[in-house]
């Protein structure tokens, strides 16, 4: 009785969330994978089990390889850009900028906006009109005499997805800055001073003391940004809608389910997105579990 008293209240507390997660996360995930392995290519028929046929077949579709390429370009530019910019901002703050609190708030503000709102604003900013018809950023370039910088933004066939990453960088770099700032502050002043006493230049202090200590923060930031990027949907739909020129797996999934009425294909794409995200998340979980055990 006393033993039960000890664990039962705790279990009761977490039971609702365990049940909810079991049903709505893992149950649904399982259901999705099961659906992806059937040939239920319309809403009314009963699907038969076909194994991994959908998973291999989708690579024959030209649209799929385009959307995977787009997702890769978007992820590289977005994650790289947000990490670099966030690091740079944090570095400047750390150097003891006057009015740091104000700047911090300014850089963090974009986080408070939804991707949809960001997308609507940037759709206008990244208008592809040039010359006399330029509006948005192209117009700005025109006014300040940087006409050569005008380009078609997300409508550019080769680098359009890099342009699409700009609003995402704008929105998330403040958050990365906050992460890095906390990381910088976590480096004990004594360590730096010891290095300086040993004759390190300021550059070397950063190279050998601060940067290695920022590794865990960088990893967390990479994982947070990476999974946002692979699931990107709202921003892209708000900027350009469901067009091939900016197609990514999540948008393709929506089109497969709601326009093509092909549940199995939609589930296959969803499964690939989950797999891609877990490539990011699982190593992180393993790493943090190990770290916890060590400490």
Query: Under rule CB under 8 A, which residues in 159-198 are in contact with other proteins?
Result: none
Using the rule CB under 8 A, is 19 a contact of other proteins?
A: yes
Q: How far apart are the two ends of the chain, measured CA to CA in Å?
A: 34
Question: In the bound complex, what is the minimum distance in angstroms from residue 115's beta carbon to other proteins?
Answer: 17
Site for other proteins contains 1 (CB under 8 A): no
Phi-psi region of 99 (alpha: psi -120 to 50; beta: other; left: phi over 0): left
DSSP labels, 60-110 = G-HHHHHHHHHHHHHHHHHHHHHHHHHHHHHHHHHTT-TTHHHHHHHHHGG
3-class secondary structure, 180? helix
For residues 162 and 70, give the distance between their C-alpha atoms in angstroms, rounded to a whole number.
9
Rounded-to-integer distance, Cα 184 and Cα 179, Å: 9
Query: Binding of other proteins at residue 99 (CB under 8 A)?
Result: no
Q: Which stretch binds other proteins (CB under 8 A): 2-10, 74-82, 98-106, 208-216?
A: 2-10
Residues with Cβ within 8 Å of 198's Cβ and at least 6 positions away in sequence, in order, are none
Residue 247 binds other proteins (CB under 8 A): yes
Is residue 40 close enough to count as binding other proteins by CB under 8 A? no
In 126-159, which residue ranges form alpha helices assigned H by DSSP? 136-143
**For other proteins, the closer CB: 20 or 182:** 20
Binds other proteins by CB under 8 A, chosen from 54, 128, 173, 229: 128
Q: Which residues from 139-158 bind other proteins, rule CB under 8 A?
A: 152, 155, 157
- According to DSSP, the residues that pair with 58 across neighbouring strands are none
Out of 1, 44, 112, 197, which residue is the one contacting other proteins (CB under 8 A)? 44
Give residues in contact with other proteins (CB under 8 A). 5, 8-10, 12-13, 15-17, 19-20, 42-44, 62-63, 66, 123, 127-130, 133, 152, 155, 157, 240-241, 243-245, 247, 255, 258-262
């Amino acid at each position: 009785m006393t033993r039960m008293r000890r664990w039962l209240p705790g279990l009761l507390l977490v039971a609702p969330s365990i049940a909810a997660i079991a049903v709505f996360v893992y149950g649904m995930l399982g259901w999705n994978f099961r659906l992806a392995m059937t040939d239920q290519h319309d809403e009314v028929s009963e699907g038969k089990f076909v194994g991994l046929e959908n998973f291999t077949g989708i690579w024959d579709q030209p649209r799929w390889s385009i959307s995977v390429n787009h997702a890769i370009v978007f992820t590289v530019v977005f994650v790289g850009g947000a990490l670099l910019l966030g690091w740079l901002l944090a570095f400047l703050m750390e150097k003891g900028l006057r009015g740091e609190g104000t700047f911090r708030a300014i850089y963090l503000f974009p986080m408070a906006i939804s991707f949809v709102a960001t997308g609507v604003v940037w759709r206008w900013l990244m208008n592809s009109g040039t010359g006399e018809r330029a509006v948005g950023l192209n117009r700005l370039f025109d006014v300040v005499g940087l006409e050569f910088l005008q380009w078609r933004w997300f409508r550019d066939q080769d680098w359009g997805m890099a342009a699409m990453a700009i609003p995402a960088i704008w929105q998330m770099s403040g958050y990365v800055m906050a992460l890095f700032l906390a990381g910088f502050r976590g480096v004990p002043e004594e360590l730096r001073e010891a290095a300086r006493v040993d004759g390190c230049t300021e550059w070397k202090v950063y190279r050998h003391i601060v940067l290695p200590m920022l590794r865990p923060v960088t990893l967390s930031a990479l994982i947070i940004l990476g999974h946002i990027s692979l699931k990107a949907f709202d921003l892209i739909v708000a900027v350009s809608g469901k067009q091939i020129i900016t197609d990514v797996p999540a948008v393709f999934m929506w089109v497969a389910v709601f326009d093509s009425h092909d549940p199995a294909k939609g589930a296959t794409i969803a499964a690939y997105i989950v797999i891609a995200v877990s490539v990011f998340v699982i190593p992180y979980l393993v790493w943090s579990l190990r770290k916890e055990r060590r400490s």
